[in-house]
Amino acid sequence: PLPRTGDALRAFHTALRSSPVNSKSQALKEQAQGTMLKVLTSFKSSDIEQAVNSLDRNGVDLLMKYIYKGFEKPTENSSAILLQWHEKALAVGGLGSIVRVLTARKTV
Amino acid sequence: MAYHSFLLEPISCHAWNKDRTQIALCPNNHEVHIYRKDGAKWSKIHELKEHNGQVTGIDWAPESNRLVTCGTDRNAYVWTLKGNIWKPTLVILRINRAARCVKWSPKENKFAVGSGSRLISICYFEQENDWWVCKHIKKPIRSTVLSLDWHPNNVLLAAGSCDFKCRIFSAYIKEVEERPSPTPWGSKMPFGELMFESSSSCGWVHSICFSASGARVAWVSHDSTLCLADANKKMAVASLCTETLPLLAVTFITENSLVAAGHDCYPMLFTYEEGQGVLTFGGKLDVPKQSSQRGLTARERFQNLDKKASSDTANATLDTLHKNSIRHISVLAGGKANCSQFCTTGMDGGMSIWDVKVRHPHCLCPPRLR
């Protein structure tokens, strides 16, 4: 069953905050990617926009990195929901946020 | 604003003469063409042919009226107008890769060339030998130098590089000038001294610019960021992640405002708030043309579906003045302290002149376009 909106939002912020962006451990990063994907796919479509608007500029950039990571390793229905996240994140972060996914030295 | 389409090919680089009646540009080949304004049109009056590779940088010294050009042929030439002919003088840069950018110093007794050799050649004229010589600034540059800008004191030089960093060096040449007085960037300025180095952004630094006072330096990187270092705040760096495609050119238009442009094909305004040390986006400076609102025929709809997988009626062409990336910006009037007019050239072979109107000089409102 889908979690309540409040829980999903909290899980979302926690996952972003504890992102191992500075770590060199591939295992740690993969674990974080898995967690983030679970959180993103657990959202109701109608709640995505609110979640994106609750982020600052760095948060949007980080989210965009996870969205593209999610595209890299698609699961059963992940791409569909990730595309919805992408649309909302793009509206806030602009093409610049995608450019920074491509140029980032510290990956997620 | 006024737009003139010079070429069907990109304009590689450009420079204006002192009274802004002539523009020198490279039409994406080994030559430099000089055009003169004749009323409403532009007439080509000179073709400078000496380089064996694409001309990557041109600078026109306003007082001495000399041109300096640099190219992928690893050479630089200083051009002097004798009568009605531009005569070139070769300058040996001692580099083994393409030259990428060139700038006269404010006093026009030196010029700096950035290159793929991962160094900066500082060139000055040696009277005894009647010959341009150069000294190299190498450490700690790790990749191609893409852009340069001189501090008003004629000694400090800012350099943007493909190693993701903005640096300020001393280019003090004792043969041609007095020891410089201390600046907010430091007091000891022996040749080659590194006065400032930014922490890495994540992109090639395409363009760099000192403010009119020299106390601030701003740069744009390929990771779609704009940064500014303020010497009066202990060289603190303010950075802004933009929502746009990467910017390729930036200039100060007042001590607190900048105009930048790049792959989005339109110039945009940014302001720096000194107290908080914050950069903010101030808006797009291009007025979109009214796109025609006619409907599509069935045939056009099908063509759209076939080509773009979309039957969208939205105008697929750019509604900006420039139809391709803007590569260079130059200040035409007012200097970097109070710019009232600037110029952009780009990959669409066009040149546009933009008028800036400062709404309220005494308040912090950002300037905007007339």
Give me the pLDDT at residue B316, please: 61
Examine the pLDDT at B363 and tell me if it is beyond 50: no
Minimal Cα–Cα distance from A35 to chain B, Å? 26
Examine the pLDDT at B324 and tell me if it is beyond 70: yes
pLDDT digits (tens, 9 = 90+) for B106-165: 999 999 999 999 999 999 999 899 999 999 999 999 999 999 999 999 999 999 999 999
Minimal Cα–Cα distance from B92 to chain A, Å? 36
Choose the closest CB to B224 out of A58, A99, A105: A99
For B226, the closest chain A residue by CA position comes to: A96
Give me the pLDDT at residue B58, please: 98
Q: Do A103 and B202 touch (CB under 8 A)?
A: yes
Give me the pLDDT at residue B170, please: 98
Examine the pLDDT at B361 and tell me if it is beyond 80: no
Number of domains into which chain A is organized: 1
Q: Which helix (H) or strand (E) holds B142?
A: none
Coil, strand or helix: which one is B38?
strand
- Side-chain-side CA neighbours of B351 within 13 Å: the count stands at 23
pLDDT digits (tens, 9 = 90+) for B189-224: 999 999 999 997 899 999 999 999 999 999 999 999
CATH, domain range B206-290+316-357: 2.130.10.10
Handedness of CA B267, B149, B102, B222 (dihedral sign): negative
- What are the chain B neighbours of A61 within 8 Å (beta carbons)? 241
pLDDT digits (tens, 9 = 90+) for B330-349: 999 999 999 999 999 999 99
Minimal Cα–Cα distance from B43 to chain A, Å? 39
Q: Do A100 and B223 touch (CB under 8 A)?
A: yes
Read off the CATH number of the domain in which A65 is found: 1.25.40.190
Q: In this structure, is residue A15 part of a structural domain? A: yes
Question: Could you give the ipTM of this predicted complex?
Answer: 0.90
Give me the pLDDT at residue A21, please: 87
Q: Do A100 and B224 touch (CB under 8 A)?
A: yes
> Which of B218, B324, B210 shows the shortest CA–CA distance to B270?
B218
Is B245 in CB contact (< 8 Å) with chain A?
yes
Sorted by where each begins, the domain ranges of chain B are 206-290+316-357
For A89, the closest chain B residue by CA position comes to: B243
Question: Do residues B41 and B33 lie in contact, with contact meaning Cβ atoms separated by under 8 Å?
Answer: no
Give me the pLDDT at residue B288, please: 63
Give me the pLDDT at residue B364, please: 37
pLDDT digits (tens, 9 = 90+) for A72-88: 988 888 999 999 999 99
Is B203 in CB contact (< 8 Å) with chain A?
yes
Q: Do B202 and A94 touch (CB under 8 A)?
A: no
pLDDT digits (tens, 9 = 90+) for B61-116: 999 999 999 999 999 999 999 999 999 999 999 999 999 999 999 999 999 999 99
Q: In this structure, is residue A64 part of a structural domain? A: yes
Give me the pLDDT at residue B110, please: 98
Residue with tokens 């409040």: A6
For B247, the closest chain A residue by CA position comes to: A96
Quote the Cα angle for B154-B246-B56, to 5°. Answer: 50
Pairing of strands B120-126, B110-115: antiparallel
Q: Do A97 and B246 touch (CB under 8 A)?
A: no
Write down how long chain B is: 370
CA dist B40 and B343 (Å) reads: 16
- Choose the weakest-confidence range: B56-60, B188-192, B209-213, B298-302: B298-302
pTM for this predicted structure: 0.91
Give me the pLDDT at residue B367, please: 47
With the CA atoms of A52, A58, A59 and A63 taken in that order, what torsion angle do they form, in degrees rounded to the nearest 10?
90
Task: Please give the residue that has the higher pLDDT: either A84 or B368.
Answer: A84
A-contacting residues in B 214-233 (Cβ below 8 Å): 222-225
Q: How far is CA B85 from CA B35, B47, B64, B80, B81, in A?
A: 14, 10, 16, 8, 6
For A59, the closest chain B residue by CA position comes to: B241
Q: In this structure, is residue A108 part of a structural domain? A: no
Examine the pLDDT at B258 and tell me if it is beyond 80: yes
Q: How confident is the model at residue B360 (pLDDT cuts 50, 70, 90)?
A: very low
pLDDT digits (tens, 9 = 90+) for A18-48: 999 888 899 999 999 999 999 999 999 999 9
CA dist A77 and B157 (Å) reads: 54
Q: In this structure, is residue A63 part of a structural domain? A: yes
Q: Domain of residue A36: give its range.
A: 5-103
